[in-house]
Amino acid sequence: MASLGFVGLGVMGSRMVQRLLDAGHQVTGYNRTRAKAQWLLDAGMKWGATPRAVAEAAEITFSMVTNTEALIAVTGGDDGVIAGLGSDKIYVDMSTVSPAASRAVAQQVKAKGSEMLDAPVSGSVITLEEGKLSIMVGGDDATFEKALPILQVIGPKVTHVGANGLAVSMKIATNLSLAVQMLAFSEGILLAEKSGIARETAVEVLLNSVIASPMVKYRGPFVLKMPDQAWFDVNMMQKDLLLALELGRQHDVPLPTTAITNEMLTTARGMGLAEKDFSILFEALARMAGNKNG
């Protein structure tokens, strides 16, 4: 069993730790708010007072944080992950951040005698809990092979896509489709409803049609009833779309549907819906169409 560390125990990170604990691994964790991690401490996780303390205690340290700024915050400084690394350790960041920033952190990690992988995931809380999460990984081959058995505990489908930073690029390319699909699905439901078809009927038809991707199947019902807790909120999704638009600019790739969907996320934020799951795009569109309550 490996000695592992995990920094960032939010909705996804905490459940990843749970899977690692259930597999018998020793995990030392850190979160800005310790109270949110109490259930993991009760389940056997050890506590690290700082990200540095976590990295010092672990052979492989994982992180799952909100954005590029958060990655820099947990890795840098005297109390950061990098300060706790040493010879032959591995740092795996599972966040969706700027590819350039991820590569810069990888260089700092290498200077400490350690190796870094960027390993963002594709899936939701439900796919993670069901053991169906997929992981894309960037970094050198040898480091990937060392970390692979642990990554497969978190998710069974693990794909090495290339050098440092490329997995994050792949994740950004993946995530832009989630919001674009949700907006297109919302347009179809709203058009059917405005034509006189019950919303429930329209949802049933589309979820059993050729457009029903896995994402549409598990998020489509949210147009009928939103989850109490956002799986992935508007702000988080817009962060990913902005990363996509910036990457598109860098590589001269036009992203027209991404740009339009990004504007709809801004609309949702303007309506006070920023903390809702990004499937709230339906409500934003419905309000624009004259529906008072979505």
Q: Give me the active site residues, please.
A: 171
Kind and range of the H or E run holding 68: helix 68-75
Q: Which two tokens stand for residue 175?
A: 């995530």
CA angle in degrees (0–180, nearest 5) for 19-20-26: 145
Residues in the chain: 294
Determine the Cα–Cα distance for residues 30 and 223; give it in Å rounded to an integer: 35
Say if strands 26-30 and 3-7 run parallel, antiparallel, or are unpaired. Answer: parallel
DSSP 229: S
User: Taking a C-beta distance cutoff of 8 angstroms, is the pair 39, 23 a contact?
Assistant: no
> Which sign, positive or negative, has the C-alpha torsion 254, 255, 256, 262?
negative
Which helix (H) or strand (E) element contains residue 62?
strand 60-63
β-strand 115-118 against 46-47: which pairing, if any? unpaired
Residue among 99, 40, 110 nearest 71 (CA):
99
What is d(CA 75, CA 81) in angstroms, rounded to the nearest whole number? 4
Neighbours of 99 (CB within 10 A): 23
- In order of 61, 93, 118, 207, the CA distances from 113 in angstroms are 14, 17, 17, 50
Tokens 């092979």 belong to 145
Quick check: helix, strand or coil at residue 253? coil
